[in-house]
């Protein structure tokens, strides 16, 4: 028996009212996040504690050509640091374009080593690369850092000062987006700065998270061996999260300094941007499925627009409040982390793209990792997939 039109209309009205209520709650959440961002302080504020600098081996897994790669790699060798620094770069294919970039840097300094090794240590290509690179690392302090990370001259000094604390087993860093392409890179960076970063800051401020990010994971070789080495994470999608979880299980905490690092955003099309957003969304869902559902309140602007389904009178007002809260949050992020002015006119677009990725993340398990398609199991493991029911575009 079909529903009558009045009953259908009542359902639409109820759903619209739920969306508006979610938008109101979400706007309050965003305002609270803005306050938390301005008040954010962690270990590492001010001058680092006096310490004897230790030699460091930086492990940089590389794959493919990236704009500005030479400059970013060179910054790791130009540190204001009074101990030896070794930069170990790794690729799995000798024809990888990154090889020539490393070669240029190697002519400038003897601190650079290149490892070319195609051996697989699991389905996660990054972890295989790191495991292949590890034997070349000469020092006890290991620092794993993604190739798209921007660092300043005091990077190692601050990271090792945090690692020297007796209860710290590993150090990781927050990060903000740096556009490395025009429109789509700017939208990608804005997603990090207006959604991801403030969400993490609020969780840290409330003591609800102790995250570990691929931007930086510094730890000692002995602890890495104790938690199983890189091979223990060879099939895991969220390998950085898994490393952090293993460090905490070993009885240590993750040190999070107060500064943030730049993350270069190379997206050159809407397709690649959305593919990347979808992989991030499904990674978060894998880590915390219940928490992922709760993230719906972090999208108040989209929820307010959904309230238009029933044409309720306060929909536009609620959308304006939601958008204002996001703009305020962007300003607070700029002020706290000393970032250049964001593209405020792109904020409504970015909010809707983020909500689209969130909804898509609720369904399916396919992700794209540098052109290769995988399915993510319920345990968070990579499972190679020759074919998927949904199209996943290359990043």
CATH code of the domain containing 127: 3.90.550.10
Same domain, 209 and 302: no
Residue-wise pLDDT tens digits, 171-229:
999 999 999 878 999 999 999 999 999 999 999 999 888 889 989 999 999 999 999 99
CA distance 99 to 89: 9
Mean pLDDT across 69-78: 95
Residue 51 lies in a domain: no
Residue 218 lies in a domain: yes
Residue with tokens 């793209």: 353
Residue-wise pLDDT tens digits, 33-57:
999 999 998 654 444 455 688 999 9
pLDDT of residue 46: 44
Same domain, 306 and 324: yes
Show which of 213, 236, 269 is a domain's final residue: 269
CA distance 381 to 375: 8
CA distance 201 to 300: 18
Output DSSP code: residue 216: B
Residue 61 lies in a domain: yes
Same domain, 67 and 215: yes
Same domain, 34 and 108: no
Alpha-carbon dihedral 343, 348, 352, 354, rounded to 10 degrees:
40
Residue-wise pLDDT tens digits, 149-162:
999 999 999 999 99
Nearest to 260 by CA among 340, 185, 155: 155
Same domain, 156 and 128: yes
Please list, in sequence order, all residues whose beta carbon lies within 8 angstroms of the beta carbon of residue 235, skipping any fewer than 6 positions away: 122, 123, 124, 381, 382
Q: Structural domain of residue 342, as residue ranges?
A: 7-41+271-384
Residue 21 lies in a domain: yes
Show which of 235, 269, 303 is a domain's final residue: 269
pLDDT of residue 392: 37
Residue with tokens 């199209």: 391
pLDDT of residue 301: 95
Please list, in sequence order, all residues whose beta carbon lies within 8 angstroms of the beta carbon of residue 126, skipping any fewer than 6 positions away: 61, 214, 239
**What's the domain count of the chain?**
2
Mean pLDDT across 118-122: 88
pLDDT of residue 379: 65
Please list, in sequence order, all residues whose beta carbon lies within 8 angstroms of the beta carbon of residue 127, skipping any fewer than 6 positions away: 121, 230, 231, 233, 234, 236, 239
pLDDT of residue 201: 95
Mean pLDDT across 91-97: 92
User: Residue 395's pLDDT band (boundaries 50, 70, 90)?
Assistant: very low
Same domain, 28 and 175: no
The answer on pLDDT for 169 being more than 60 is yes
Residue-wise pLDDT tens digits, 232-289:
998 888 899 999 999 999 999 999 998 899 999 988 899 999 999 998 898 888 888 8
Q: What angle do CA 341, 346, 351 make, to 5 degrees?
A: 115
Sign of CA dihedral 46, 47, 49, 52: positive
Backbone angles phi, psi at 251, to 5 degrees: 100, 15
Mean pLDDT across 15-30: 90
CA distance 123 to 330: 37
Same domain, 147 and 296: no
Same domain, 364 and 220: no
Same domain, 80 and 211: yes
Contact 244, 212 (CB under 8 A): yes
User: Residue 14's pLDDT band (boundaries 50, 70, 90)?
Assistant: confident
Same domain, 293 and 355: yes
The answer on pLDDT for 58 being more than 90 is yes
User: Residue 391's pLDDT band (boundaries 50, 70, 90)?
Assistant: very low
Residue 308 lies in a domain: yes
CA distance 201 to 214: 17
Q: Within a 10 A sphere around the Cβ of 249, how many other Cβ atoms? A: 10
The answer on pLDDT for 305 being more than 70 is yes
Same domain, 93 and 216: yes
């Amino acid at each position: 028996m079909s529903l009558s039109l009045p009953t259908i209309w009542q359902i639409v009205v109820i759903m619209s009212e739920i969306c508006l209520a979610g938008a109101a709650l979400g706007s309050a959440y965003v305002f609270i996040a803005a306050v938390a961002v301005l008040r954010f302080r962690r270990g590492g504020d001010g001058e680092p504690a006096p310490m004897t600098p230790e030699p460091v081996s930086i492990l940089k897994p590389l794959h493919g050509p990236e704009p500005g790669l030479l400059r970013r790699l060179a910054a790791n060798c130009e540190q204001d640091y009074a101990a030896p620094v070794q930069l170990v770069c790794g690729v799995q294919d000798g024809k990888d374009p990154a090889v020539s970039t490393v070669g240029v840097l190697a002519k400038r300094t003897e601190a650079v080593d290149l490892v070319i090794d195609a051996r697989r240590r699991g389905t996660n290509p990054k972890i295989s690369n790191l495991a292949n690179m590890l034997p070349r690392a000469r020092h006890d302090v290991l620092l794993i850092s993604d190739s798209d990370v921007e660092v300043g001259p005091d990077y190692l000094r601050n990271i090792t000062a945090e690692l020297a604390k007796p209860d710290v087993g590993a150090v990781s860093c927050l990060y903000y987006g740096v556009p490395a392409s025009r429109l789509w890179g700017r939208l990608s960076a804005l997603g990090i700065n207006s959604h991801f970063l403030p969400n993490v800051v609020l969780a840290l401020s409330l003591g609800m998270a102790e995250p570990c990010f691929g931007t930086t994971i510094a730890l000692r070789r002995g602890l890495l061996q104790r938690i199983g080495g890189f091979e223990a994470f060879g099939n895991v999608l969220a390998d950085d999260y898994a490393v952090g979880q293993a460090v905490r299980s070993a009885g240590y905490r993750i040190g999070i300094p107060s500064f943030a690092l730049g993350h270069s955003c190379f997206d050159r099309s809407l397709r690649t941007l959305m593919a990347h957003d979808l992989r991030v969304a499904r990674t978060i869902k894998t880590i915390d499925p219940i928490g992922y559902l709760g993230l719906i309140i972090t999208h108040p602007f989209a929820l307010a627009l959904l309230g238009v389904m029933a044409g309720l009178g306060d929909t536009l007002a609620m959308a304006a409040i939601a958008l204002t809260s996001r703009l305020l949050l962007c300003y607070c992020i700029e002020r706290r982390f000393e970032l250049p002015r964001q593209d405020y006119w792109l904020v409504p677009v970015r909010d809707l793209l983020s909500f689209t990725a969130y909804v898509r993340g609720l369904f399916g398990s396919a992700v794209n990792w540098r052109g290769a398609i995988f399915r993510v199991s319920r345990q968070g493991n990579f499972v190679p997939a020759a074919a998927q029911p949904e199209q996943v575009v290359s990043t």
